[in-house]
A = this chain, B = another copy of it.
Amino acid sequence: MTVEISYREALHQALREEMQRDGDVVLLGEDITGYGGSYAVTKGLHEEFGLDRVMETPIAEAGIVATAIGMSMGGMRPVAELMTVNFALLALDQIVNNAAKFHYMFNGQWSVPIVVRTVSGFGQLAATHSQTFEGWFASVPGLKVVMPATPADAKGLLKTAIRDPDPVIFIEHSLLYSKRGAVPEGDDHLVPIGEAAVVREGGDVTIVAYSRMLLEALAAAEELSAEGVECEVVDLRTLRPLDVDTIVQSVAHTHRAVVCGEDWRTGGFGATLAAEVQDRCFDVLDAPVARVAMADVPLPYARNLERLLIPTAHSVTEAVRSLLSIGGRS
């Protein structure tokens, strides 16, 4: 049995259910109480669980993540919210040097079971507020990085992340919050971290995507299908640990791959994917791994410029078409 809810509601349910299940689960972050959460995900939770379990914090991103880390060492299961992923830069030392490393560097004496919920996205927010850094997070050993595209995965992965003993960077997408989708009913819907999903089958090109770009990829696949090009679409869902086998298996029969993301082309997660795929699939590739990504420029405010830069379904179809124009190798 499923029920149709929004991505926002799915996340809200995940938080609420896990807080009901486990008294050690607490939320902390900026404006998550009275303001209602800047994207309204936590709305009402402070009324239900009280201000001890939904902790309003001052504006201090490093301090928020550090507090979560310390709380987890004290036996709790904190879910820290960083209002947007742009502000995560201020907490990067805490994430990279503390959260990601404690378990390893202290020889397994304790782990850091925190979730850092944050959000990427656009909307004429200009240069400093329109970035996304999943490629950076995904390069850090010790972190897990999750970026769900659908309400079902948002709910199932957030619940899994909260129960996971390792630090999980959970990146939502502002343009997905209102999207609706079927979610399994009940409070035991869990989606494993580290497993990609083939969400559309096809034999001509593999499109690897996650978060909002999954929707763009699916739209592109639909359009291309009408032209007779069948795309296989892989939703990564988890960026670290990367389910590279699922990608490799797909590319093994499509011989072509387009990897999609919203971070910068140079050094973004697409580069990580392209490097990995060309390494493991060299013999079967008929064309270079193509990347759909943000051009290497800060995002300007003006609507027309922003629209030119944000990757869309159109960018994906273009990339697929240009790949197909490259002759097979054999």
Contacts of A270 in B (CB 8 A): 275
- Which of A86, A93, A296, A326 is most buried by chain B, counting CB atoms within 10 A of its CB? A93
Q: Could you tell me if A240 and B266 are in contact, using CB atoms closer than 8 angstroms?
A: yes
**Which of B101, B266, B271, B275 is within 8 Å of A128, CB to CB?**
B101
Interface assignment of A288: CB less than 8 Å from any CB of chain B: yes
Q: Report Cα–Cα, A232/B263, bound state, in Å.
A: 32
Interface assignment of A127: CB less than 8 Å from any CB of chain B: yes
Interface assignment of A315: CB less than 8 Å from any CB of chain B: no
Q: Report Cα–Cα, A275/B101, bound state, in Å.
A: 28
Task: Give the size of the chain A interface in residues (CB under 8 angstroms).
Answer: 52
CB distance from A10 to the nearest CB of B (A): 28
CB distance from A63 to the nearest CB of B (A): 13
Q: Could you tell me if B141 and A297 are in contact, using CB atoms closer than 8 angstroms?
A: yes
Q: Could you tell me if A275 and B291 are in contact, using CB atoms closer than 8 angstroms?
A: yes
Binary contact track A175-201/B, C-beta < 8 Å → 1, others 0: 000000000000000000000000000
Give A residues with C-beta under 8 Å from B.
86, 89-90, 92-93, 96-97, 100-101, 104-105, 126-128, 131, 135-136, 138-142, 240, 242, 263-264, 266-272, 274-276, 278-280, 282, 285, 287-291, 296-298, 300, 326, 329
